[in-house]
Amino acid sequence: MSTNGLTEQTFAEMIAENGGRLFRTGACVRDSLLGIRTKQIDFTVVGMVKKNFKLLFPQAKESGTPFPVFYVMVDGIRSEVAFARTEQKADDGQIRISAKPKIGIEVDLLRRDTTINAMAKDSLTGEIIDPYQGQMAIGAKVLKATSSAFTNDPLNALRLARQTAQFGFTIETDTLELARTVQKDLMQVSPNEMLPELVMTLSEAKEPSRFFAVLKDLSLLSVAFAELAALPMDKFSASMLGLDAVANLSQNSKVRFAALGFALPKEGFSAWSERMSLPADWVEAASTFSEGIRILVQRRPADFVDMILKLRRGALDVTEFDLITQAVAFNIPQLQEFKDNMALPKGEVVPTELKGTEIRAWVKMKQVEAVAKKMQCLLEKKVE
């Protein structure tokens, strides 16, 4: 059947007619209970083999190994569909995955990281399946490992820290102790596998500093983000305060990272961006902001003009630059005020005898004069 125009109800009914059951699982169930608009609907199929699913939905796009998922348009949304499975850590340290029709939804949920993510919703009946008391954890605002299998995946410790920052929940004591045991295993994880947790933290967390603070408490910050861990305590604390101040004004991950990257010395920032494939606009924004702060403290009009022009065509714009300086209380005037004064006065035009680079030089001179005049006005106003 074509998946065009497929509704969740029809999707669930077709699977049920063929001996299976469809459930919403993971973050979308959690978010609905928290009153948060979910970004993606994930489904889990129970009681059906992959071959039969592909026959029913031939347009579903299969992706991934060794355990594939399918992408299906449901209610006009590209949704991820997986099959109920178990995960067990073998003696050699490898995770053995088993997906069989007899695996029930409760067993599948047991492999999830925390109990708030170990819930499902029956797509036919709307019933919430909550065998590990996820709703109780949400009510208590507590993060708790679903089982001791939490340590099978060392990235669960980063997910735990991210969920703390995202929801403001505390962490159950036993779960903290479990997370502290994954340090050696986390050292074997590629930095790029850790990147998604950083991206989600800077994109979604209300207090992103809690992500780093939890990792520091777990002695995992030096493994995941060594450059931040190397900061002296006073600079680390200041960077976290600045990050949260910016996060309070903007949900833009690029802007938040620019504030965070500024806390690092140049060599530390370079090491981080080389070790982890950070988004290119993050790196450019952080580098531009650091350069701007270093230059603009000199209060030279020509530097202000150069920076405003650079911000016009770069990853960070003037409004975003001003937002960070305002949030972190840098002693830098708001650039927007100077930008507004850089246009040529009404009636003034470029002399006709100027050509090519002479025109650019003349315009630059006028812009510098305008910025210098504005600086003087602000200085005189401050003196008054």
* Domain ranges, ordered by start, for the chain: 1-134
Is 343 exposed, middle or buried, given 0-12, 13-18 or 19+ CB atoms closer than 10 A? Answer: exposed
Beta-bridge mates of residue 142: 170
Provide the pairing of β-strand 120-122 with 21-25.
antiparallel
pLDDT at 343: 83
Q: Tell me, what's the pLDDT at 348?
A: 83
CA distances from 328 to 206, 240, 260 (A): 17, 10, 11
For 43, list phi and psi in degrees, rounded to 5. Answer: -120, 150
Q: What is the second-level CATH architecture of the domain 1-134?
A: 2-Layer Sandwich (3.30)
Taking Cα atoms as reference points, which of 217, 221, 164 lies closest to residue 187?
A: 221
Pull the structure tokens for residue 94: 């490898």
Tokens of 210: 């809690």
Structural tokens at position 134: 């996820």
pLDDT of 93: 62
> Residues in the chain, how many?
384
User: What's the pTM value of the predicted model, to 2 decimals?
Assistant: 0.88
DSSP 318-329: HHHHHHHHHHHT
- C-alpha span between 252 and 250 (Å, rounded): 5
User: Is residue 351 reached through a cis peptide bond, with omega within 30 degrees of 0 on the bond before it?
Assistant: no
Nearest C-alpha neighbor of 7 from the set 81, 77, 60: 77
**How many CA atoms are closer than 13 Å to the CA of 30, on its beta-carbon side?**
25
Tokens of 69: 């998922």
CA distances from 316 to 241, 260, 284, 289, 332 (A): 21, 14, 8, 8, 16
Q: Which residues contact 196 (CB under 8 A, 6 or more apart)?
A: none
CA dist 360 and 23 (Å) reads 63
Instruction: Give how far Cα 58 sits from Cα of 2, 53, 103, 348, Å.
Output: 7, 8, 24, 67
**Residue 110 contacts by C-beta under 8 Å, 6 or more apart in sequence?**
86, 118, 131, 132, 146, 147, 149
Local mean pLDDT, 10-residue blocks, the chain (384 residues): 78 96 95 90 94 93 83 93 83 68 92 96 97 97 96 96 97 97 96 96 95 97 96 93 95 95 87 92 93 90 93 92 92 90 82 88 90 82 58
